[in-house]
Structure formats: structure tokens, C-alpha cells
Amino acid sequence: MDLQRPIIRDFALGSLISIFGIINLKVFAMKISFNDIPGQSPLYLDYLYNFKKVAKYYIKDFRNEAIYEPHFKDVLSKYPSDRKQVTQTIKNQYLSKRISTKTSQNIKLLEEKNTLTVVTGQQLGVAGGPLYTIYKTITAIKLANLLAQKYPEMNFVPVFWLAGDDHDFEEISSINVINNDNKVEKITYSVEEEGEKEAGSVGDIRLEQEIEDFITSLGNALRPTEFTQDVIGYLSSIYQQGRTIAESFSEMMFKFFDKYGLVIFNPQAEDVKRLLVPVFRKEIENYRAHATKLISVSAGLDEEYHAQVKIRPINLFVNNERGRYLLDPLENNEFRLKRKKVKFTKDELLQLLESSPEMFSAKCDSSTRLSGLPFPNRVLCRWTS
């Protein structure tokens, strides 16, 4: 195994510049069952190999290809007929970039009534975060191409959802690599905390001088290969002091995947938050019903497997100059910012939503629901680990 570790290490970092040749290669490999791989959850294994046991928790069985086309048509029939607003929002996000012909074509395809999307996404890990960010993105691109071949009367566009509203800085601030001694080494981007200020959305955080130390530590940890200098140089050019984490992560993904037509989408933009107002409003008005349903499903999962998420009364945050605060419902249709004395009536909160939608964001585990509003989702390559 030690002999293979440098190969894994180079594949994870050093080969990022050339990794995408995999997309065009035919790979011949033995089939390995996830049952034979340690550490897999029972729920995941039943989803793969015993779907009847978990069918009540999922809408569709991905193995049953007979349902694909009817499902596609059902999604398209429920999606708003006017797609220009979403497409224009994406074009606005690409104004400063010279995009590939493939990406330009895919953005135009989003206006077509017969276009579906294959959406994936991830928290914005420094230097790309975990390797499965890359794997999921390749999967979305490959799946979109495969479906377009099998169903030529429809279009399929791969989309990457930048999960920048997440506020868990600790989760995205480090990466693990195989170092020059063939040992796992954790490289962390750490900055001095600002007193009692609440953590805000990580996508908005501006990188500080310590990012240079992070890149230097990363370069020192890696065994020199033909890729190392280029990768470290490239990361240094985009992860720079003063840039936001979202800007740097987005540019990295653009560099790697633009030629393959991946549409990178930033849901933190103000015009996107305006599109998401109906979802936020529905959560404010119906949070009790949503929470009750989630508790019921979570209890069933906990009995058979394990609870998947921690259930909150409401799945919305409010952002202000002091940070990102979870909403807590109170009696008499009132809400409060968690651990703060700031209160809103229901009407005041809805008015704030209408006037300043950019102040609102959802929990990370609500991202799949949010992505279904601006995009006609065919499938989600999940961004939870």
C-alpha cells in the first residue's frame, strides 16, 4: 500500500491539471462491490443493493431506467416556462470570464424548454477541499453527456452549485495530503478570530495574509513531481489575500472544468436570492409542517439506520454585519436570531425578505431543495459527505 500512496497523492493534487483526461478515456477496471469496502453506512449499502428496503425514503429508484423518460417529462412540465431570468443571472456571473464554446452553448441551452440539469455542488474547501469534489463534478459532466446521448430529444447541462452560504469555516479551512514521508498530513489555513463576531457565510470571507503560509506549507509537504510546481503556482495565483473564498474556489473550478461545459453557479448573488424568495417564504410560513415531517422521517431512519441530520425548527439563517444567525421561532408568530435579543414578527420577517432577500440563506442540507427552483433538476450528485 505504501507504494501506491504517492500515486494517490499526485492524483489528488499534482494531477489536477491533467486529471480531466480521464473524462475522455475508456477505463477498464474490475468491478468492486461497496459491500467489500470498509466504512460504508448500512443505509447507503441498502440504497445500492437492497432498494426495496429503503424505497419509502426515496422518490425514485435510479436502477429502473424505464422511469427515466416519464420522470424527465414530469420535471419539465412542472418547471416555469420562462427561463430567461435564470439564464440572464448566469450570464451576469460570467461577464468577466472568457468562457469556452461548450459552456456558452450550455448556458444558451438552459433557455430551451427541453433542457434538464445535472446538479452537483460542495462547500468551498480551500484549495478544492476533499477529492470527492472533483469526482462528483466529473460524474455530473459524464452523466449529462450520457443522458444527452440516450435521450437526444432533450438537453442535459451539468451545473456546479457553489455552497458558499455555509458558515462552517473550520470544515473548509484544511485539507489532508500524503506528504513526502508517505504519511497523512493536515494543512490548515488558520486566521485570528474576531472576538465574539458570529461566523458568516464562508463564501464572503476575504482571504488574509495567512493564505500564503497555507500554500507554502502545502508545497513543502508534497513530494516533488512533474506536476507540483504548476499546481502550487496556480493555487498561489488564485488564492490571494483580499479575494473571497468563493471567488478563488470558483476560479479554480472554472480553470479545471470550463472546457467541458460545466456551468458554475453562485447562489449568493443578490439576483439569485431574489429568485429564491418563494422557497424562503414557504419555509417561514410552513416551518412547523416541514419540521414535523422531517422529525417523522428522521425517527424512522434512526430506528433502522441512523439519523441523517439534526432537525431544526426552521431551516433559515439571517445575515447581517455581525454574522450569520439561525432563526429561532418563538410563541405568537415571532422569531429571534439565535443567541441574540433581535426579534421579528412574522410580518416583519416577510417584509424583510421582500426588501432584502440577500440577507437570507438556508441550511446546507436544504441546498437540494433550493437548487430545484432555479434549475430543472434531473438528478443531483449530492454534495454531502
Q: What angle do CA 130, 133, 134 make, to 5 degrees?
A: 110
Task: Kindly indicate the confidence band of residue 164, based on its pLDDT and cuts at 50, 70 and 90.
Answer: confident
Our separate counts of H helices and E strands in the chain read 15, 11
Q: What is the pLDDT of residue 111?
A: 92
The domain segmentation of the chain, as residue ranges, is 1-28+67-269+370-385, 272-369
Determine the pLDDT at residue 202: 87
Is 223's pLDDT higher than 80? yes
In angstroms, the CA 284 to CA 352 distance is 12
pLDDT of residue 175: 93
User: For position 23, what pLDDT does the model report?
Assistant: 43
pLDDT tens digits, one per residue of 66-110:
999 999 999 898 887 678 888 999 999 999 999 999 999 999 999
Buried b / exposed e over 73-105, threshold 16 CB at 10 Å, is eebbeebeeebeebbebbeebbeeeebbeebee
The residues with which 244 forms a beta bridge, in sequence order, are 206
pTM, entire model: 0.84
Q: What does the alpha-carbon distance between residue 106 and residue 307 come to, in Å, rounded to a whole number?
A: 38
> Residue 213's pLDDT band (boundaries 50, 70, 90)?
very high
pLDDT category, 18, cuts 50, 70, 90? very low
- In tens, the pLDDT along 279-308 reads 899 999 999 998 898 888 889 899 999 888
Compute the mean pLDDT over every residue in the chain, rounded to the nearest whole number. 85
Task: Report, as an integer, the average pLDDT of 12-25.
Answer: 41
| pLDDT of residue 17 exceeding 50 | no
pLDDT tops 80 at residue 8: no
* pLDDT for position 10: 36
Would you say 119 and 140 are in contact if contact means Cβ atoms under 8 Å apart? yes
Classified as helix, coil or strand, 190 is coil
DSSP 323: E
User: How far is residue 92 CA from its own chain's centroid?
Assistant: 20
Give the mean model confidence (pLDDT) for residues 55-73: 91
Q: What share of the chain in percent tops pLDDT 90?
A: 57
304-327 pLDDT, tens digit per residue, is 998 887 888 888 999 887 888 889
Task: Please state, in angstroms and rounded to a whole number, the distance separating the CA atoms of residues 255 and 281.
Answer: 36
Average of per-residue pLDDT across 130-147: 94
pLDDT at 306: 87
Q: Are 290 and 281 in contact (CB under 8 A)?
A: no
For the ranges 71-80, 195-204, 259-268, the lowest mean pLDDT is seen at: 195-204
